[in-house]
Chain A
Amino acid sequence: MTTITDTSKSSYLFSLTIRLADSALIASQRMSQWCGIAPTLEEDIALTNVALDLLGQARHLFSYAVDLDGCRKDEDQLAFLRDPHQYLNYTIAELPNGDFAQSCTKSFLFSTFSQCLWVSLLDGEDSTLRDIAAKSLKETDYHIEHFSRWFVRLGDGTDVSRQKILKSIDYLWPYTAEFFGNDRTLSNLEGLLHINTGKLQADWVNAIEDVFTEAGIDLPSDSDFMSTGKYGVHSEHLGHILAEMQYLQRSYPGGRW
């Protein structure tokens, strides 16, 4: 593990780790909502797999965040006892699943972005994040494979499925601006992680372009909407997710689970 003496840098590293952990956890929680009700039994199993992978990633990241922070005892304190404004996930992760098209588009857009992030973390100087990135990359590649296929199938399939995919892009696309918008956490960590959001964006567009083409869909133009979940200012949805997720830890303090 890289030792960081500069405390402000350490707090940015903690923020970034928490951002990645929260994004994975909230995406996993959303994905888990499909468990038992997916369009086919095979898809039920596949989506649960993705939820489990994301949860695993979140746990590795939380455990690193516990090391960095020093005041929190364990992953569960971080996951279950923080309030919505302390959550730093990208907003897109908390958006409702909607129909199957919306869930696939959301996961496709988010997992391709995650892939770009993991790849860039491989070049950073933080060895723990490097290890987590390497492990997560394999899983993320599978997620992209799965959801890009659905994106193409639904985009190309029937009129109904195509309309639903278009509608989902219309809803979700504006939230992707948050991936690359002004990012004081990443810019403060530039010396350690060397992540450049401009390059990240170019990589991401590159990654999704072919899939959009295959689905016969044009890349949307950017809107001027900017979500801010990564700074703790969320949509209305996160509060409900946490109310449900944190219910037992909050209602029965001091319990053993």
Chain B
Amino acid sequence: MYTQSLDTDPLANDPKEVSDKRELELKKRISEGYVVEPRDDMPERYRKTLIRQMSQHAHSEVVGMLPEGNWILRAPTLKRKSILLAKVQDEAGHGLYLYSATETLGVSRDALYEDLLQGRAKYSSIFNYPTLNWADVGVIGWLVDGAAIMNQIPLTQCSYGPYARAMVRICKEESFHQRQGFDLLNEMMQGTQKQKDMVQDAVDRWWWPALMMFGPEDSDSIHSEESKAWGIKKKTNDELRQTFIDVTVPQAETLGVTLPDPQLKWNETREHYDFGKIDWNEFWRVVSGSGPCNKDRIGVKKKAWEEGAWVREAAMAHAMKSKGR
């Protein structure tokens, strides 16, 4: 998982590094379907925008291992344990794949990771919510991987080759995760009343944060247009969010859960579901570090990285010694 349009502009204060002319040329070629490859000469602004988006995406994959990882040891059956382990492993693979793709832009993975650990980099807001019962694992698969797919499928056509190719592979696995999540919930919904209550509780907590995964409304989106012109954003946040809601409401009905939005209603004229107001204050609070789990998530990753330092040093030392022998 998961790209999210966070729309803070790291270039806002940068001096213009290349001429407008070069940027315009590339935008024109991209609009004609040109796919940019690492060897291509690219304007600094394009490169930096890609680095920001792709590294945020990579960070989201690796931080995203934690909320579900929280339930691996407690998974209720061996089959579910196996599915969950494999899923979390997939997310690590996505992270690795995306870090490698980002490295083609001339940044090192260690430097990017350091940005994450020092709180300088952002990642998807969704992973700053806690997983409180087993049904959360299913709801994350169903809604969070579901929203991720919605976000990412257009990116399989994005203008940067390595990113587009990474997305093709990743989307395949995300849709697998989504079906497994739905299946988990479907099973629980045929179980005891307590289990059904668990599912509803999880849906109540994850629905709105899942909608926030698509980023701010188009009217508040700082450089949505810019990203569109660069060919690294194909659809607007609001378009994607609406598609997600339209697809998800019938699935909720199939499951037999209630989505926690009294204003959710089919609109004949628009041929879309209307929905209630998203709490954007909460979104910005969580994105900027004050969500329920921000400190814990980064804290866990930081501790692991620090505790692993002697291991990485030993591996280096051994490699050097072996070379000398």
Interface status of A157 (Cβ within 8 A of chain B): yes
On whether the beta carbons of B85 and A48 are closer than 8 Å, the reply is: yes
A231 at the interface (CB under 8 A from B): no
Closest residue of A by beta carbon distance from B304 = A37
- The complex places the Cα of A249 from the Cα of B69 at a distance, in Å, of 19
B45 contacts the other chain (CB 8 A): no
Chain B 213-237: CB-based contact to A (< 8 A → 1; otherwise 0): 0000000000000000000000000
Task: Assess whether A55 is in contact with B188, with CB atoms less than 8 Å apart.
Answer: no
B168 within 8 A of A: no
A51 on the B face (CB < 8 A): yes
- B308 & A35 in contact (Cβ 8 Å cutoff): no
Q: Tell which of B89, B99, B190 touches A49, judged by Cβ atoms closer than 8 Å.
A: B89
Contacts of A39 in B (CB 8 A): 304, 307-309, 311-312
Q: Would you call A100 and B78 a contact (CB within 8 A)?
A: no
Instruction: Say if the beta carbon of A12 comes within 8 Å of chain B.
Output: no
Q: Using Cβ atoms and an 8 Å threshold, which residues of chain B touch A41?
A: 62, 92, 95-96, 99
Most buried by B among A36, A52, A164: A36
Is there an interface contact between B76 and A255, defined as CB atoms closer than 8 Å? yes
In this complex, what residue of A is CB-closest to B190?
A256
Within 8 A of A (CB), among B132-179: 134
Contacting pair B73 A153 (CB below 8 A): no
Instruction: Tell me which of B73, B78, B307, B313 contacts A244 (CB under 8 A).
Output: B73
Task: Please report the total number of B residues contacting A with Cβ < 8 Å.
Answer: 50
Whether, in the assembled complex, A45 has its beta carbon less than 8 Å from a beta carbon of chain B, the answer is: yes
Interface residues on A, range: 35 or more
Once the chains bind, are B308 and A252 in contact (CB under 8 Å)?
no
- Does B194 touch A at the CB level, under 8 Å? yes
Assess whether B89 is in contact with A100, with CB atoms less than 8 Å apart: no
Return chain B residues, CB-CB under 8 Å to A80: 76-77
Residue from A32, A36, A245, A247 in contact with B304 in the complex, judged by beta carbons closer than 8 Å: A36
Task: For the complex, give the distance between the alpha carbons of A122 and B65 in Å.
Answer: 38
For A52, the chain B residues whose CB sits under 8 A away are: 82, 85-86, 89
**Bound CA–CA A154/B315 (angstroms):** 7
Which residues of the partner chain A approach B134 to less than 8 Å between Cβ atoms? 248, 257
Interface residues of A in 237-257 (CB under 8 A from B): 244-245, 247-249, 252, 254-257
Report the Cα distance A44→B96, complex, angstroms.
11
B91 nearest CB across to chain A (Å): 9
B78:A256 contact, CB within 8 angstroms:
no
Q: State how many angstroms separate the Cβ of B312 from the closest Cβ of chain A.
A: 6
- Is the CB of A128 closer than 8 A to any CB of chain B? no
**Chain B residues with a Cβ under 8 A of chain A:** 62, 65-66, 69, 72-82, 85-86, 88-89, 92-93, 95-96, 99, 134, 184, 187-188, 190-192, 194-195, 300-301, 303-304, 307-318, 321
Pairs A-B, 10 closest by C-beta atoms: A39-B308, A157-B314, A161-B314, A256-B191, A37-B304, A248-B76, A39-B311, A48-B89, A257-B76, A153-B318
- What are 7 A-B contacts with C-beta separation under 8 Å? A39-B304, A52-B86, A152-B318, A156-B317, A157-B314, A248-B75, A248-B76
Chain A interface (Cβ within 8 Å of chain B)?
A: 25, 29, 32-33, 35-45, 48-49, 51-52, 55-56, 58-59, 62, 75-76, 79-80, 99-100, 152-154, 156-158, 160-161, 164, 244-245, 247-249, 252, 254-257
